Amino acid sequence: MTPSLTMGHQESQNLDNINPLETRDEDFVERGENDALNDNNDQDEHSERSQSQQAIDESDSSEDEVAPRNTIGDVPLEWYKDEKHIGYDFAGRKITKKERRDKLDSFLASADDSKSWHKIYDEYNDEEVELTKEEIKHIRRLLKGKAPHAEFDPYAPYVDWFKWDDAKHPLSNAPEPKRRFIPSKWESKKVVEYVRAIRKGLIKFDQPKEEPRFYSLWGDDSSSADITKHLAYIPPPKPKLPGHEESYNPSLEYIPTQEEINSYQLMYEEDRPKFIPKRFTSFRSIPAYENAVKDSFERCLDLYLCPRVRKKRINIDPESLKPKLPNKKDLRPYPFACYLEYKGHQSAVLSISVEPSGQWIASGSKDGTVRIWEVESGRCLRVWEIGEAVQHVAWNPLPARPILAVSAGADVLILNTGFGNEEEQKEIKNLLHIGTPTSDDSDDMSSYLSWLQDEQHDCIRLRHYRTVSSVVWHRKGDYLSTLMPADILLAVLIHQLSKRLTQRLPFKLHGLPVSLAFHPTRSIFFVATKKNVRVYDMLKQKLIKKLETQLREVSSIAVHPAGDNVIVGSKEGKLRWFDMDLSSKPYQNLDCHRKDITNVAFHRSYPLFASCSDDDTAYVFHGMVYADLNENPRIVPLEILRGHTSSDGRGVLDCTFHPRQPWLFTAGADSTIKLYCH
């Protein structure tokens, strides 16, 4: 059906009329007049109704009669989209399309035309149609979902056309069905259901009273606390409060430069700062924080997923961590300041030794010389040219026998220093004189070691077959022990000077020996291998004790003058104090040096001990051993002595205490010897 909008009057049917708009306008005016007339005569409503009724009647009748201008019938209009005509009229002539107006024109026209709102473009007939008042009314009613005609009554009283008073025959002769007079089963079921629901309380008629959602939960006095029985509540840690840098307008110095920001990219992700300060010069320019929701979410996760542990906030003064030590002033005297330097050696001083009276000091150096200095003045008294690097020097502990044992290469020289009175000198000369080589006794020792007379220095030369690293005197001054670390079987030899005898150590050493020491009072001998220290009784010829150092490589050992305590220094810079009465495990660990400990030493009379190391330092400790066995030794670090400079990666190579004064001698790789005094 074409969208033939019902037109008001018969006039509009006029086919000859090509321009229907004009006529309609006329018609509108006409009708307006008509209305006005009617107004005068009759009641407004009535007139309208009557008129519209009339119109309806007419339109009803005219609906079929009004033929569209176009005769193409009900075909898709697309077919004519590209044609110049829209169809054919009754005469079969083409109806040409009107000119299309462009949008602007049509808009302007519509803006000018006050009636444009009730004009409709009829595509079928290619013309604009103006809706009449009636039509608009119909449309409105349709839009509301009502019947288009106002007078149509959808609820008209029912008229039973099939019943009348004097009807002889019923329309249907069927008997009344049972359901008409029996109560409905389903209805009753439904009722029962409802009744049950009401009884159960599923259906309630009165709305439940709304209780106030919030009330005074804690009561008025907040002190009434129930003691909860469950575990202690650990309150969550509060988020960190923002600092200056988080401000929207921080001081300029809080903003990192572009280079710094770029450098953040090179950092590990966990080290990278999470927040980069930015500056906004005005309040209005602050944007939304992009991680606001995420931060909040992460906080939530922390709150319910992270194990909470009550941790003590460490707010300690680092001083309080240090153990309570006696005041250093009370432990005086001890060496702390460099007092003298002994200069003269050309190369690193490898070893020093103090004469038992404390007047002279001997030193052996890498340049192949042994020098004797006067302690008080620093004057070099004597020089021996040995020819080889001097590994070790040792004074004879007897004051009456001023001789010096020197190890250089594979030889051990026992030098006459020339001190002492004439009697002593005579005795010494006797002692150091070997008439004929006494290799007649066919000992197996002879192939490894020979006692020789050295003419150059007028002394005894003990020729070993391997390099000797150290020489140690027995306290009585007759025996001396040498150490050849390269050998295992004959590593430790003990020589008797008076009888010119050499003995092997009659024990099996487990591991390479590193250092030796005689017990200061008893005939006990200490041998330090790389891992352990073995203590032998020389009289009973047996192992007394094995001290477990727990070190990687022992470098030096020293025995306390009382004999029950031993300190051991190691190549990893650790110092161990053993109390042999207490246990074979270290009593005190002192991790003081950063490099190898080269030597350790006890003072003979003062409660002092020292360690020197390749890191150019020497440590002085207070180490008091009490006669009371119940009391443990008291160890207090006293001083770090610096002054030496390193050369070839070596620092301080040897240290010895003065036998009577609390002074410390150190020999350095920088070819100097230093004396530290109190």
Partner 1 sequence: MAIDLHVFLVSIESDALNVVRHLTLTQLDMPITNFHLIEARRLLWEHPHIKGKKKEGNAARYVTRSQAIKILQVSLSDFRKLCIHKGVFPREPKKKVKGNHHTYYHLKDVMYILHDPLLEKHREIRAYKKKIKKAKAKKNDELAKLLISRAPSYKLDMVIRDRYPTFIDALRDLDDPLTMVHLFAMLPAIDRLKIEVKRIHNCRRLCHEWQAYISRTHKLRKVFVAVKGIYYQAEVDGQKITWLAPHARQQVLTDDIDFNVMLTFLEFYETLLGFVIFQLYHSINVKYPPILDPRLEALAADLYALSRYFDANYRTSVQELQFDGSSRLDQEQEESNIRLAQLQHQLPANEPGALMHLVQDASGEIEEDEATRDCKNLFRNKKFFLSREVPRESLLFVIPAFGGIVSWEGDGAPFSENDDSITHQIVDRPTQGHVYLSREYVQPQWVFDCVNARVILPTEPYMVGRDPPPHLSPFVDDEAEGYVPDYAKTIKQLQASVKSDVKPLPGMGNDDLDSSKILLAEGFINRTEAMEAAEKKRQMMLLEKQYHDELKRELQGVSSINKQNSENTESKEQSLPDVEPNPEDPSGLMMSRRKRGLAKAIEIGKQRKKDHVEKLKERKRNIEAAQKSEKKHKKTQLS
How far is residue 304's CA from residue 311's CA, in Å, rounded to a whole number? 18
Q: Using CA atoms in the order 397, 403, 405, 411, what is the torsion angle rounded to 10 degrees?
A: -160
Longest pairwise C-alpha distance within the chain: 183
How far is residue 597's CA from residue 613's CA, in Å, rounded to a whole number? 4
Nearer to partner 1, 393 or 635 (CB): 635
Footprint (CB under 8 A) of partner 1, residues 641-660: 642
261: contact with partner 1 by CB under 8 A: no
278: contact with partner 1 by CB under 8 A: yes
Question: Applying CB under 8 A, which of residues 306, 400, 488, 562 lies at the interface with partner 1?
Answer: 306
How far is residue 379's CA from residue 673's CA, in Å, rounded to a whole number? 12
**C-beta of 585: minimal distance to partner 1 in Å?**
16
208: contact with partner 1 by CB under 8 A: no
Footprint (CB under 8 A) of partner 1, residues 213-242: 213-218, 222-228, 230-231, 233-236, 238-239, 241-242
267: contact with partner 1 by CB under 8 A: no
Question: Applying CB under 8 A, which of residues 143, 314, 539, 627 lies at the interface with partner 1?
Answer: 314
Question: Applying CB under 8 A, which of residues 432, 638, 652, 653 lies at the interface with partner 1?
Answer: 638
In this structure, the number of other CB atoms found within 10 A of the CB of residue 310 comes to 7
How far is residue 274's CA from residue 294's CA, in Å, rounded to a whole number? 13
Footprint (CB under 8 A) of partner 1, residues 334-353: 336-337
**C-beta of 286: minimal distance to partner 1 in Å?**
6
287: contact with partner 1 by CB under 8 A: yes
Please state the φ and ψ torsions of residue 264, each to the nearest 5 degrees.
Answer: -60, -30
Nearer to partner 1, 528 or 590 (CB): 590
587: contact with partner 1 by CB under 8 A: no
Nearer to partner 1, 29 or 276 (CB): 276
In this structure, the number of other CB atoms found within 10 A of the CB of residue 263 comes to 12
What is the DSSP annotation of 325-347? Answer: ---GGGG-----EEEEEEE--SS
Tokens 């009165």 correspond to: 206
Question: Applying CB under 8 A, which of residues 525, 606, 619, 663 lies at the interface with partner 1?
Answer: 619
The one-letter code for the residue type at 177 is P
181: contact with partner 1 by CB under 8 A: no
Nearer to partner 1, 122 or 245 (CB): 245
CA dist list (Å): 117 to 100, 120, 136: 19, 8, 11
| 656: exposed, middle or buried (Cβ count in 10 Å: 0-12, 13-18, 19+) | buried
266: contact with partner 1 by CB under 8 A: no
399: contact with partner 1 by CB under 8 A: no
**C-beta of 530: minimal distance to partner 1 in Å?**
24
Count of residues in the chain: 678
Nearer to partner 1, 389 or 558 (CB): 558
**C-beta of 380: minimal distance to partner 1 in Å?**
29
590: contact with partner 1 by CB under 8 A: yes
**C-beta of 46: minimal distance to partner 1 in Å?**
47
Question: Applying CB under 8 A, which of residues 103, 178, 274, 284 lies at the interface with partner 1?
Answer: 284
Nearer to partner 1, 205 or 283 (CB): 283
**C-beta of 249: minimal distance to partner 1 in Å?**
4
How far is residue 663's CA from residue 376's CA, in Å, rounded to a whole number? 11
CA dist list (Å): 250 to 191, 254, 272, 310: 75, 6, 20, 35
